[in-house]
Structure formats: structure tokens, C-alpha cells
Structure 1
Amino acid sequence: MTSTTPGLAEPSPSPEHGSSREGTQATPRVVVIGGGPGGYEAALVASRAGAEVTLVERTGLGGAAVLTDVVPSKTLIATAEWMTIADRAAELGIRSVGLPADGVAHAHEVDLARVNARVVELAQAQSDDIRARLEREGVHLVDGTGRLESAEQVSVLGADGAVVAELRADVVLLATGAVPRTLPAAEPDGERILSWTQLYGLPALPERLIVVGSGVTGAEFAGAYNALGADVVLVSSRDRVLPGEDADAAHVIEEVFRGRGMTVMGRSRAVSVTRTDDGVLVTLEDGREVTGSHCLVAVGSVPSTAGIGLERVGVRLGRGGHIEVDRVSRTSVRGVYAAGDCTGVLPLASVAAMQGRIAMAHALGDAVTPLDLGTVAANIFTAPEIATVGASERSLEESGTQFVTSRLDLGRNPRAKMLGIRDGFVKVFAHASTGIVLGGVVVAPRAGELIFPLTIAVAQRLTADEIAQSFTVYPSLSGSVAEVARIAHSLRS
């Protein structure tokens, strides 16, 4: 997988640090449009490099990642995770006072209004922290919507659409993010038909939540609300949940979902969602109808690239409206860079932040390591989580690479037994001749933490033997990482 967009013309080199295109200003002027991870990380890098930095943001520092997406959703999911832990209490010999031993698993209930209030509070606190940090670093913050007038000039529009400021720039970074994709026959109303940005206004747990879309967002929220106690129906147009992920990992998650009472409807494409007197009606392509109290529409996102002057300036857009960038975040226009979900490179906050940092390093003449998606670690916050890094099994097969796959079920791990963990595994892909770790998958509670040894291995081109020969704590879940590396050695022998 490569982050270089095919067919993108190689732009001219950016100005060196300390210069401008007019040659009259010693301090480079950087304007960042968008305050999400790609934008604020870029602003920090540029400010520390001595640039005069202005960041334009219309909804709040941190962008969707902090205010409506990553931070709030993972906060909600963290609460749901505690419910799955509580479900194992009876097995571990724990029961609430006054309840029979067989009643402990269902002795907890969720106050969703309080959960959502905490979600919103934490998101705002994180946004406030980012604002304070940017101000300490000398970044000038402007509230409004940024629009390119030329490669060297940005207008800032107020809420009424009037221009409130004009900014000159030697370097512009576009980090405008993306918004939830909607369906013409399933428009969110914020009450019964919801996008994922609207879930945090729910005052009570939905009686029956229908989730349309079984990708990462749909699976995460379906799992979370199921754990919180809602009756959940997951409608998938594909033959399985998480169709873009490792097949073994997706199988585990789907089995866990079904085992917890979720209804999973595969090969069921939703064509419309309508309000009823007391809920929603979801109509499927084959004519079947599904009723519920609420519906979450999670069918992807669209880049926020319309109406910001890209066509006027000549910034090239790809299919779906994403901004085309190369591996150092350059667009087709000299001096204009882009980072994050508006580029369509990989919709992860970590990737957006890295793109922003790389863009400023390149623009201001610092040493640059181009973006390498082959070393990106990603995590799906279901319960258990799915963490991946490097090449996937499918991509290795399609490329004809000679490799071995070693897998170890987590249920064999002594620490997992102690914690009552049964579902999950560790899987490693190693080159058949050299033993270099090409990729890995971890399905486990806190898999996002356990993947780190494999991330180091992929990034540093370590062999499975080098992992296998490293000490791990006994007992520990990470012990399975070393054990699966030892299995890889035996497969290559």
C-alpha cells in the first residue's frame, strides 16, 4: 500500500526555511485551515521552527477527532468495556451484596444521560487543553471558516458568511477533515435517525438500536451499545462484519456479537430509514423491514473540501472529493499542503498528525521522512479490540510474497485465563526466507497496547526470531507475542 496518489504531478519544491516567494519577509508565514490532529500538530511544528503561524478553525480546537469522533466515541466505548468486565464478575467469584450468585452478571445498568454528559465534558476539556497549548506555543488562533483566495492568501469567513479577516501566507496547510456520509432516503434528524456525531445527545439508552453499516464505526458503536444494555441490530450489506479487516479477526468479533445477543444481518443492504410514531423503520433492498426505537447510519464519510476555494486555486481533487497529496503532503499547487481525512490517505488521527508534521518539516526546510503507511498501527475499539500493523494476510497473498503465518489463541495464555478472557488471538506474518516481520494482528482486550512490539518489529525490520528471543513478563498477555514469534521460527525451519 502506498500513500503516493497515482498520477499526481510532482509540484515544485517548497520555499526554504526563512524565505518567502516575494523574498521580502524573513519569517515564513504559515496558515493552517482546520484545527484537528493534522492541523494543530502542523501548527506546533511550524511555530517551533520559527514560523509565524495562524490557525483557522470554525467548530473548536481538536476538530471532529476530539469533539465528535475519536475522543467521545472511545470514551463511550471505555464505559461499555467496564460493562463487559462486570459481566465476568460471577465467574471470578465476585457478587454484589444482597444479590444471589447467579444474578451478578446483570446487576449493573447504565445512566446514559450521565455517560453522555461525561463524554461531552471530556471532549471539551481536551479541546480546551489543545487551545491552551497552541496559545502557549505562540500560534495565533482565528475563529471562522478558511477559504483559499490564492496560494498566498486565505480569507476567513464568519458564521454569516462575511469575510472577517484576510491572511497572507507563504505556506498553507489544509486540514479540513470529513463529515458523516448520509443516504438520501435516510437523512439524520438528530432524534431517532442519527449520525455518529449526534449520539451524545441521547437522554436514555435506546430500546432497540438499528445500526446501518458494519465497517469500523458501525461495529464499534454496535458493540458499545450492546454492552451498555441496548437491544442492537447490525445491518451489513456485506457477508460479514468488518469486511475490510483480517478475516479471522472479523470472525471472532461477529461470533462475540452474536454470543452477546446482538442480531447481525449479513448481506442486507438498507435502502431507506423512516420515522414512525414511536421509532424507526429500516427497509432493506430485498423488501424486508426492520423496526427499532433508533437508527444509527454509519456508512462512511465524505471529505470537507467543498466551498473552500480549491478549484479556484487549482488544488487537484481525486475521486470522492479528496485532496490529492504525495508522501510529504504536497498538493498539486506549490506551497499548499494537506493532511488528514480530507486527503483520503488513511482515516486515522495518528496518520493525520504525521501528515501535518511531515508537511511543515518539508515546507520549512527541515529533514523529512516521507509517510510510510506500511508501518502504521491501527485499532478497532470493539470488545475485544482488533489491532493491526504492516501488511495484511490478503495483501501478502495478492502480491505473491512468500511468507508464513503463525497464530496463537489468547485462551491458552495464563494471564488471559486469570482475567477470564477467552476470545482473541495473536497472529504474525513473517517472510519465509528472511524471517522479517511483515505484519501482525492482535485480537484482545487492549489490543491497541499489545500491538506495539509488532509495530516496532515492522518499523525496524526485526525478525520473528529477534522477538522470540526477547524476555516477556510471566504471566502477561504480551507473552503470547513472543510465543507466536517462536511458532513462526518453527514454521520456517
Structure 2
Amino acid sequence: MEPMTQTFESTQSVAVLGGGPGGYEAALAAAQQGADVTLIERVGVGGSAVLTDVVPSKSLIATSDAAVAISEASDLGVQFYAKDAKGKPLKPEIAINLAAVNKRLMALAGQQSEDMRSTLMEAGVRILSGHGRLEGPNAVVVSTSVGGTDFDRVEADTLVVAVGASPRELPTAKPDGERILTWTQLYDMKALPEHLIVVGSGVTGAEFASAYMNLGAKVTLVSSRDQVLPGEDEDAAKVLEQVFKRGGMQVLSKSRADTVERKGDGVLVTLSDGRTVEGSHCLMAVGSIPNTHDIGLEEAGVELNESGHIRVNRVARTSVSNIYAVGDCTNFFPLASVASMQGRTAVFHALGDIVIPLELRKITANIFTAPEIATVGFSEKDVRDGEADGIVYKLPLAANPRAKMMGIKDGFVKLIARKGSGTVIGGVIVAPKASELIYPIAVAVERRLTVDQVSRVFAAYPSLSGSITDATRAMHHDFVAP
């Protein structure tokens, strides 16, 4: 009698190039699926998103929110006083120790990176530190030493490229790391800038302009468009611009910066119309470029677009069947949350698990200004342009009882529902912590709930989320059959 033999299917191998949010999630999901996983990362697990971008920047914004809360507490009847030598009350000023703030930010970023690394290692992921380059569609060569003298070669059935993006630099405004800065270089500053000039009024520029204004710096925002946050909801952009101007920020609309020069202990920004702006520091927030150059993508057959972004489909697959790409290096949608979802989706698709292709219209985005701006689904502009057959309703946040209690004056809830059915297809929230408030609207968009269905959900009273149910109840009459 012949001995019984058992045969096992060979374990799938996955190599992930880049350890940011997308690469991290891809590696973790693959390990949880039982794959043999190797992650290659050159700066540390978490990538630039954790170490120099999302984590430190949002931590800085949290600090600025605290400063605003303290400065506006007197509006709520809370007053801060110190006493002089004679016992007379003095109103103290808020002081920002930027060196201490930045030290805390970078410590938080480092700790988050270490936590992520530990999670991967516990899941069985092999982590290689070094610069990776594709060698065909099934291998990555990793330079594991300074100067590239030591190499490791990783072969895998599936490759996931998650190399991210870097701040775009202009030849007429070269960052020096001291006075002319990218957003990755801000955390070396030891003191609050006397006058920060922010070039670029997109999401990054608006967030940092808001944060430093609320920390007490003089801020000038140079915007090449007619509104801050071009492409975002117009009503939201107007609210934010009003808040900026009320806070003392100078907003230069329709103004393009031609050059930025170092002038001693300051900077000189020259605009295209000949005007100049002088300040102590300049932040260049003019977009980003994908880190896809010279990593072997073209040689492996991966298709890029003109900007160097990797072309992917809705399951993050590239033009090469076993190579996937996720995050800011792709042409999909540059958000950390999207990168994470792409990473999981890519691995599920590669390893044969159930996959739901990503839909751009269901992505929730947030801008961490003060107030925050959160969006999901179709916009009011889409309705105006005929891309969506919808009805728009806007409810000012000042009408909300909890907002009154908290002293909130700026913001609104805007809902967009499809004509006829009343299905929620989009929404905008401008409010403190809009990033939290948008979630029920995102669920409604994802699950195709109607305004009547959302209105029947109990919201705590009083609460800011009550504005969502108030808006849906107000829209009821638009969908009642005649």
C-alpha cells in the first residue's frame, strides 16, 4: 500500500514597494490572507504621509485649534487672568513655543511609524529598508546601503507599487530649507514665522495658512485663482475666505507668484503683475509630483500618463496584470484614506478575494482648515452642469442649537438628493470636526439611502449632527408625490 501524500497549493508571494498608507494596508492585508509578504521602504514605515505630511500637519492643526479655543473662550464667559505684583488682574497673551510644538509633532510621527512597523512584523511581514527598483514584472532589487553597494533581490507573484509623491519645486522658487520651504520642511522652524507667505491656495496651502494664522503668525496667501480652494464647493470656499480675512490674513486672489528669492533674513515674492510681497518665510504649496522616475516601471511595461502618474483601474491594477499601484503615485485620487482602500482592494483582487471596485463618487474628502470642509459624492456644480439630476438644500450651521451653545458662527450643511427618488447623492459640511460629521452622509451615499430614510434616524439633541436630520426633513416636501 502506497503512503498517502498531501499536496498544498504554493503560497502566493507579494512584494510591496513603499510603506505609506497604501503600501502598509496592502502588506497587512496580504499577510492576513496568508501570503508571503515583503515590504520595501526607504524612509520608514508609514512613508512621508506619517513622517513628514499627514500626521505632523494634522497634529499642528490640532495645536492651532487649541490656541483658537483658548483665545475665543472669553466669548463663552471663560476668562484668563494673571495678577501683577500689586494683585491687579492682567489678561495674559497666548504664547506658542513652536520648537516644543514641532518636537511633539515629530515624536508623534515617529511613534506612529513604529506602531505600524510593529503591526506588520507581528503579522509576519518581512521589512527591508532601502531603495527599491523593479526588475521586470516579478522582482524588485533593493539597495540596502548608502551609496547602493549592497543589494537584495525580492521575487514575487504580485507587486504593489506605493511610492507616493513629493512636493513640486519650481526653478524660480527653489526651497532652501530655511526661509523658502516645502511642507515637509516646516517642522525645523524654532519660532513662529513673523510673516509667512503661502504660495498656493489648494488644500495644502489653505490648511497651513489656516493653522499658522491661528497660531498667531501674520499670513499672506497667494492664490492664482479667483477663490481659495479652486475646484471645491464655492459656498465652502467663500466661508473659509471670510474666516481668513476676519482673522487678519491677506488673501491675494488672481495673483501668480513668478519668483521667490531669499533676501537676508527674509524672502521676496514677485508676482506676475510686478507687485512684490516681503515676508520672513515662504511656504511653497504648488502641488506634488509622483515618485515614479527611474524605478523600473517603464521597463516592466507599466503605463504612465504625461505627469508621471501610474495609470490604474478601479481595483488598482496597472497595465501589467500582476502589478498594482496605489496612492499618490497613481492617477486615481490623492488621499491617504483612498491609498489605504486601494491597497486592500489590490491585494484582495490579486489573491482572489471578493472585491468591490472603488467609485470616485463615494470617496469622502476633508480639508483640515478651521472650520473644516468635508465633501462626498456629487457636488452642486455637478447639478448645475447637468452631470447629476439633483436638488440642493443648504442649512446654515448657526441655526443649530448646539452650534449656538459652542459659539459656532460659520458653516453649513449642504445635501444633494436625486430628483424623483430623493436618494442622497452628495453632501458638503463646513464646521468644526466636519471630518466626523460627514460620515452619516457618506453612509447614505454608499447605501443609496433617501432623505426620508436618513431623516428617520434619531440624532442626539442637542448635537451638530442634528443639522443633517434637519436638512433631510426640510427636503421631504421636494419628494412627496403630488
**What is the TM-score of this pair, normalised by structure 1?**
0.93
Task: Give the 5 Å matches for 1:277-426.
Answer: 277-426=264-413
* Distance in 1 of aligned mates of 2:384 and 2:63: 38
- C-alpha RMSD of matched pairs (Å): 1.7
* Distance in 2 of aligned mates of 1:304 and 1:155: 17
Report the equivalent of 1:124.
110
Task: Give the 5 Å matches for 1:32-431.
Answer: 32-98=16-82, 107-158=93-144, 159-431=146-418
What is the SS of the residue equivalent to 2:82?
Answer: coil
Decide whether the 8 Å contact of 1:90 with 1:102 is kept in 2.
no
- Compute the displacement of 1:400 (Å): 4.4
Report the equivalent of 1:9.
none
* Distance in 1 of aligned mates of 2:106 and 2:287: 23
* Distance in 2 of aligned mates of 1:376 and 1:416: 27
Report the equivalent of 1:481.
468
- Compute the displacement of 1:102 (Å): 11
- Compute the displacement of 1:319 (Å): 2.3
Task: Map Cα deviations across residues 265-321 of structure 1 (whole Å, 9 max, x no partner).
Answer: 000000110000120000000000000000000000000000100111110001200
Gaps of 5+ in 1: 1-22
* Distance in 2 of aligned mates of 1:131 and 1:485: 43
Decide which moves more: 226-235 or 145-154. Answer: 145-154
Decide whether the 8 Å contact of 2:140 with 2:153 is kept in 1.
yes
What is the SS of the residue equivalent to 2:141?
Answer: strand
- Total equivalences in the alignment: 470
Distance change (3 Å), C-alpha of 1:487 and 1:99: farther
Decide whether the 8 Å contact of 2:82 with 2:89 is kept in 1.
no
- Compute the displacement of 1:39 (Å): 0.4
Decide whether the 8 Å contact of 1:391 with 1:439 is kept in 2.
yes
Decide whether the 8 Å contact of 1:34 with 1:174 is kept in 2.
yes
- Compute the displacement of 1:407 (Å): 0.9
Task: Check if 1:28 corresponds to 2:12.
Answer: yes
* Distance in 1 of aligned mates of 2:459 and 2:334: 33
**What is the TM-score of this pair, normalised by structure 2?**
0.95
Runs of 4+ aligned residues of structure 1 deviating over 3 Å after TM superposition are: 99-104
What is the SS of the residue equivalent to 1:313?
Answer: coil
* Distance in 2 of aligned mates of 1:278 and 1:30: 50
Decide whether the 8 Å contact of 1:328 with 1:358 is kept in 2.
yes
- Compute the displacement of 1:153 (Å): 1.4
* Distance in 1 of aligned mates of 2:387 and 2:54: 36
* Distance in 2 of aligned mates of 1:281 and 1:268: 15
Q: Which amino acid aligns with 2:274?
A: G
Report the equivalent of 1:5.
none
* Distance in 1 of aligned mates of 2:439 and 2:400: 18
What is the SS of the residue equivalent to 2:318?
Answer: coil
* Distance in 2 of aligned mates of 1:306 and 1:255: 41
What is the SS of the residue equivalent to 1:312?
Answer: coil
Distance change (3 Å), C-alpha of 1:290 and 1:434: same
What is the SS of the residue equivalent to 1:61?
Answer: coil
Decide whether the 8 Å contact of 2:141 with 2:153 is kept in 1.
yes
Gaps of 5+ in 2: 1-6
Task: Map Cα deviations across residues 17-56 of structure 1 (whole Å, 9 max, x no partner).
Answer: xxxxxx9971111100000011010001111111100000
- Compute the displacement of 1:146 (Å): 1.0
* Distance in 2 of aligned mates of 1:64 and 1:269: 28
What is the SS of the residue equivalent to 1:90?
Answer: helix
- Compute the displacement of 1:62 (Å): 0.2
Task: Map Cα deviations across residues 321-359 of structure 1 (whole Å, 9 max, x no partner).
Answer: 000011111111121110000003111111001111011
Report the equivalent of 1:463.
450
What is the SS of the residue equivalent to 1:370?
Answer: coil
Task: Map Cα deviations across residues 381-406 of structure 1 (whole Å, 9 max, x no partner).
Answer: 00000001111111232234321111
Report the equivalent of 2:4.
none
- Compute the displacement of 1:443 (Å): 0.3
Decide whether the 8 Å contact of 1:208 with 1:232 is kept in 2.
yes
What is the SS of the residue equivalent to 2:95?
Answer: coil
Q: Which amino acid aligns with 1:464?
A: V
* Distance in 2 of aligned mates of 1:24 and 1:265: 66
* Distance in 2 of aligned mates of 1:224 and 1:448: 16
* Distance in 2 of aligned mates of 1:272 and 1:183: 9
Q: Relative contact order (alpha carbons < 8 A, sep ≥ 6): 1 or 2 greater?
A: 1
Q: Which amino acid aligns with 1:75?
A: S
Decide which moves more: 468-477 or 292-301. Answer: 468-477
Identity of aligned residues (%): 56
Distance change (3 Å), C-alpha of 1:289 and 1:472: same
Decide which moves more: 200-209 or 389-398. Answer: 389-398
Q: Which amino acid aligns with 2:248?
A: G
Decide whether the 8 Å contact of 1:155 with 1:163 is kept in 2.
no
Decide which moves more: 163-172 or 219-228. Answer: 163-172
